[in-house]
Amino acid sequence: MRAGMLTRRAFAALTAAAAALPAPARSRPSSPFRRTPLIIAHRGASGERPEHTLMAYRLAIAEGCDVIEPDLVPTRDGHLVVRHEPEIGGTTDIASRPEFAGRRSRKLIDGESLEGWFSEDFTLAELKSLRARERLPQLRPGNAKYDGLEPIPTFQEVVDLAKAESRRTGRTIGTYPEMKHPTYFASIGLPLEGRLHAALKANGLDSAAAPVFVQCFEVGALKTFRRLSRAPLIQLMDAEAGPADLAQLSYREMSSPAGLRQVATYADGIGPDWKMVLPIAEDGTLAPAAPLVADAHAAGLMVHPWTVRAENAFLPPALRRGDQPAAHGDVETLYHALYAAGVDGLFSDFPGLAVAARG
C-alpha cells in the first residue's frame, strides 16, 4: 500500500462515524464574487482557443467568466506549469522538435501506462521553448489555427493575468488550480502541495476569503493542503472509478450522504461530473436532478459540476442537433437544468454561453 493510502474499510468506518455527526459548522466569509452560480472557465475558453493558453484565459474573461481554471504539473526544476496532464505530446509541438526526441518515454501514472513526453523531464526553460496546440483538432478545427502562437504558461502567469484583469474590469477574477496526480509526483520527489501553497501565499491567496479554489481528484493531497492553508478546497468526483490514492473506493460511495459528511471534514465543496447531478435517462433525455446537490448542501459543501461542452459529442442524445459530432447542440437546456438543480457554479469550455444562459 502506498503511503497515505486508505483502505475502503477505513473510509467506510470514517463515513459511518461521520453519518452520526451534524454538518460541520462553518464561518464562511462573504464571497469575493458578485454573481452565482459561478462560471468557471475550464482551461480557459477551451472550446474556442487551445486549452491552457493565456489567449484562452483572456477570451474567457472577456466573455464574462468569474473564475479561470489551470491544471498544474511540475517541471524537472520544480516550477508549476499549466497543462492538462504531465504528458505533453498532445498539447504542444514537442513531437516535431528533434532535440527532444530522445526524451520520449513510457511511464506508469496512477495505474495507467502512458507513452510520450512528460513535464517532469524538462526544465522550465525547455518547456518555454515549446508552443501550445489544440488537443482536439477533429472536434475543434477552428482552434487549430491558433496552434504555435503561445508558449506553455506558468501558474504565476495565470495568477498575474487574473489580477491584472480584475483591476482592468473592476470585477473579481478568481483562479481554480487543480493538483494533477499528486501521489505520482510525490513518488518522484516533486510533491505539489507545498509548491502550490507557497504560490498562493506569495500572491495573497492563502485565506478562506481569497478568490481561489484548490481542487483535486485525490483525497490525501487535499487533506495535506488543508493542514497548510485555509484556501477553499474542492473534492473532485468522477461518475466512475474512485480516487487514485484510496484503494477500492468509488466516488459514488463518497457522494452518499455519509460520504459527503466525511468529505466536509477536509473540503469546502465537491466538483462532480455533471451527470452525477443530472443523470441521463434511458431515452437520452435529462432525468430529474439527483439528490446530490441537496445532500452536499446539507453537509455544508458547495457543488461545482464539470464540464459542460457545447458539441454534440459531449451532450446527451436528446440535446444533440444533427449528426455531426463537432456541431453544437442544445447546450442551453443543460445549463438551465444545472442552474435549476441549485449548483453553486459549473465548469464550461464555453464560458460565454454559460454566462448568457445564467442571464
What are the residue numbers of the active site?
A: 42, 84
d(CA 210, CA 201): 11
**Which cell numbers hold the place of 95?**
513531437
Give helix then strand counts, H and E, for the chain: 13, 13
Q: Which one, of 240, 197, 235, lies nearest residue 216 by Cα?
A: 235
Q: Which one, of 81, 46, 101, lies nearest residue 190 by Cα?
A: 81
Interior CA angle at 43 toward 35 and 77, to 5°? 125
Using the 8-state DSSP alphabet, how is residue 238 labeled?
-
Q: Is 323 exposed, middle or buried (0-12, 13-18, 19+ CB in 10 A)?
A: exposed
- CB within 8 Å of 20: residues ≥ 6 apart: none
**Alpha-helical segments (H) within 230-311:** 251-254, 257-263, 292-298
Q: How many residues does the chain have?
A: 359
d(CA 231, CA 223): 12
